[in-house]
């Protein structure tokens, strides 16, 4: 899913895992892939995939929120081991606007509820965004899934859903 064809071959969904934003744009695809592989090696399986036939067409990164220190610090979230976070949403460009993200989020929420997760947050960009800057998912995606606004931020809002 995170490949050049989807415009995500560089990031590998490690933005929140990198220790700081300083130098983030200077990182190489190889550095990000190495970090992603290190995460997998230590058991950090942090997402759900959507498939159309056998082709991966969507990804939502989700896991315990407090493991993402940069996210917690930047968004000034109080410690809470019971809160999980949706931290990235990616849909293949040719399928954007066709409900893939909503279906993927719904499936992830169902799985999390079965696993007894009680609370989940997400951090959409505040206001209008370019499609390549909406990597945390658009506000309307979360509103449609029943998330409630916790705080409107200048750059990112915080929304929450009690499962």
Reply yes or no on whether the pLDDT at 7 is more than 80. no
Residue 92: helix, strand or coil by DSSP? coil
Reply yes or no on whether the pLDDT at 35 is more than 80. yes
Beta strand 83-91 pairing with 119-122? parallel
Q: Find, among 109, 113, 110, 65, the residue nearest to 87 by Cα.
A: 65
Host H or E run for residue 52: strand 47-52
Where exactly are the structural domains of the chain? 45-162
Nearest 5°: CA angle at 5, between 56 and 136? 70
Give CA–CA dist 121/83, Å, rounded: 7
Q: With bands split at pLDDT 50, 70 and 90, how would you rate the model's confidence at 128?
A: low
Q: Find, among 121, 123, 119, 122, the residue nearest to 162 by Cα.
A: 119
Reply yes or no on whether the pLDDT at 77 is more than 90. yes
Beta strand 55-64 pairing with 119-122? unpaired
Q: Which CATH class is domain 45-162?
A: alpha beta
DSSP-derived secondary structure for 5-50: GGT-TTTTT-TTTSS-STTGGG--HHHHHHHHHHHHHTT---EEEE
Rounded mean pLDDT of 73-90?
Answer: 96
Instruction: Give the per-residue pLDDT at 130.
Output: 62
Enumerate residues 6+ apart whose C-beta is below 8 A from 48.
Answer: 59, 60, 62, 104, 107, 108, 111
pTM: 0.91
Nearest 5°: CA angle at 161, between 160 and 163? 150
């Amino acid at each position: 899913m995170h490949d050049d064809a989807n415009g995500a071959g560089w990031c590998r969904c490690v933005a929140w895992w990198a220790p700081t934003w300083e130098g983030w744009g200077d990182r190489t695809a190889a550095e990000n892939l190495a970090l992603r592989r290190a995460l997998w090696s230590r058991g950090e399986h942090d997402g759900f995939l959507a498939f159309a036939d056998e082709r991966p067409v969507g990804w939502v990164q989700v896991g315990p929120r407090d493991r993402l220190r940069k996210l917690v610090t930047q968004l000034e979230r109080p410690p809470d081991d019971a809160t999980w976070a949706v931290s990235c949403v990616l849909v293949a460009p040719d399928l954007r606007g066709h409900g893939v993200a909503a279906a993927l989020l719904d499936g992830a929420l169902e799985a999390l509820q079965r696993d007894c997760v009680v609370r989940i947050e997400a951090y959409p960009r505040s206001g209008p965004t370019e499609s390549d800057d909406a990597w945390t998912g658009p506000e309307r995606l979360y509103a449609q899934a029943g998330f409630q606004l916790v705080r409107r931020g200048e750059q990112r809002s915080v929304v929450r859903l009690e499962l």
